[in-house]
Amino acid sequence: MARAASISATLDDWVTRGVQFLPTKVSIEEVAREFSKLLNEQGNTLYSNGVTFGWLSRLIDCTPIGLLSDLPYHARIGLAGHAGNASVEEAVLLHDAFFLLQIVKVCHEKMLLAGSRFSTIRSTDTNYRILSTANQNVGSVARLSVFSFYAFVEAFVNSVGNDFAARNASNLAAAELEILHGRKKGKHLSLERKIESFQKIIRGDKKSPIVLTDTNQRKEPFVTFFSNIKEVRDASTHFGVGKASIWRSPPEWLNFADTTSRVALAVASEFWQACYSGRRKPDYLLGLEYQALQKFSIERLETTEQILTAPNTSQRRGRRRHPALRDR
């Protein structure tokens, strides 16, 4: 009994100190019940996947953690070893797209370097294979980058709708909630219709500054996004005769990928401003600023290079490498 009392006193002390750092919005008992419920539903995966920002902010004041205040409610907040970190799908896709764009630029530079080196020597089958592979690398990564930028815009639009629905569910009609979740009368809405419809529900004046379903009223950057970029994205996903060509020169692919990055950011920015006029762009997406996102991708690539060039510990220990991993 004495040991149990000692443990109970220690736990009470931890709770008291914890509440001083993270003030609760409800009773400690309710926080415990809610967490126990999640743990029973999700088991140990809860510590890997974390909890949603909406769930957490409903129970405690998240300000001391340093979490960005504009995180959508479905953002995941890490626990245990991931404590204090947040992740949200559209941010992952946006960083993926910029990371791939940076790789496109590096691949293009390497291709030009190889080309200049081989221009002064006799052409061989080996040289042709190297240059052909370098050419393919630019196209391969550029297509993936274009695909990722398009996927980011789709995820971002869905995120804005879901977040608004989660924050305002009690004040919205059932039909509005269904639309914000991407459906109307049970049918999936196209991206164009989501952009138009979400604005009308979110805005106080119920207007839709961005018109897309009437192609004659479309303006840039939406014209380019839903014509050139969407066509290449569709062709890259499920190519068929008559669709946009995926045979392009390396400079063309590089320029197209870079153009796509800027158009995608412009589409996301205008959609955000149409929904939330005067509100600053999302901090959790680095403000949708090209330079900030590019800097982040460069740093990620530099870290990746450090990982790839790290000493092979299995070699130092004298272990044999798998044939597929041996240096050629």
User: What secondary structure does DSSP assign to 76-118, as a single string?
Assistant: EE--GGGTT-EE-HHHHHHHHHHHHHHHHHHHHHHHHHHHHHH
Main-chain dihedrals φ then ψ at residue 309, nearest 5 degrees? -100, 5
Query: What was the pLDDT predicted at 244?
Result: 73
- Interior angle at CA 190, CA 159 and CA 51, nearest 5: 20
Res 326 pLDDT > 70: no
Name the β-bridge partners of 52: 76
How confident is the model at residue 130, as a pLDDT?
86
Joined tokens for residue 166? 């989660």
Does residue 318 register a pLDDT over 70?
no
Predicted pLDDT at 120: 67
This prediction has a pTM of 0.86
Q: Which two structure tokens, joined as six digits, stand for 228? A: 């050139």
Least confident of 18-22, 207-211, 224-228, 262-266: 18-22
Q: Residue 140: CA atoms inside 13 Å, Cβ hemisphere, count?
A: 8
| Amino acid sitting at position 207 | K
**pLDDT tens digits, one per residue of 35-49:** 899 989 988 889 888
